[in-house]
A and B are shown apart, each in its own frame.
Chain A
């Protein structure tokens, strides 16, 4: 499949992602934030597809948008949001935080401006058709140990979440 209108789609998806990101951190209502985050995640899945990473895109949709965000919505529905909506949304030191984050952004910009030439033209065409197989080979070959650790981590997370959220164990 040769990509079509790459430039347009890139800017479109990037805009969707970044604007949704802005909405995530500015909305008063957490549910709206969560919806914006879902949109950002979907936009990012599109970006993954453009980067020839269909498997990651699929995992992004199925796990992030379909799984983790449902969890978020669940919790938002459980906690009272009406009270928190009326309160002050930003903490006392918001200006410091903002400045720090902007400084970080400036740092990024600096680095990218300086190292711009490092990236150009070095892209290799990845085999898109066998992407899933390649990832599987890496995942169950080179990264077998990490994979097992990840499964253990998930188990611990399940137990932790149950312990935390259950009223009486």
Chain B
């Protein structure tokens, strides 16, 4: 069997990234769009951790920072979502077409 190399992990990460991008670009539900963004961030993380096997632990440290970022993003994003839902009673991104109301 082929030994598992870094490339294998990169392919998985790329697949996740593409899935995330598809989710962001095609879905209308904000919650699922936010989840797709999480997928993208995770793909990046996987890349970073995979590369840390080549270049030392810095990648893992970066992954931790990315997770921190993801937490902040989720909190603010979901906060915006709740505010939006309260005003519009919908969770469709298509309806978010005003900067102010």
Residues of B within 8 A of A100 (CB): 21, 25
Report which of B15, B27, B71 forms a contact with A67, defined as CB distance below 8 A: B71
Report which of A24, A104, A131, A156 forms a contact with B36, defined as CB distance below 8 A: A24
Residues of B within 8 A of A120 (CB): 5, 7
Name the prevailing secondary structure of the A interface residues: helix
> Whole-angstrom distance from the CB of A127 to the nearest CB of chain B?
9
Q: How many residues of B contact A (CB 8 A)?
A: 75
- Complex: A50 Cα to B71 Cα, angstroms: 24
Query: Are B16 and A18 touching (Cβ within 8 A)?
Result: yes
Residues of B within 8 A of A94 (CB): 25-26
Q: Mark B56-71, 1 if CB is under 8 A from A, else 0.
A: 1110110111011111
Query: Are B83 and A165 touching (Cβ within 8 A)?
Result: yes
Q: How many residues of A contact B (CB 8 A)?
A: 91
- Complex: A122 Cα to B55 Cα, angstroms: 9
Residues of A within 8 A of B53 (CB): 51-52, 123-124, 126
- Complex: A143 Cα to B17 Cα, angstroms: 26
- Complex: A134 Cα to B64 Cα, angstroms: 13
Query: Are A10 and B8 touching (Cβ within 8 A)?
Result: yes
A-B contact pairs, 29 of them (CB 8 A): A6-B3, A24-B23, A25-B39, A33-B32, A53-B60, A56-B60, A68-B71, A75-B31, A84-B90, A84-B92, A87-B28, A90-B26, A91-B26, A91-B94, A94-B25, A97-B25, A101-B18, A104-B18, A123-B6, A135-B57, A135-B60, A135-B61, A142-B58, A150-B68, A154-B71, A157-B75, A157-B76, A165-B78, A165-B79
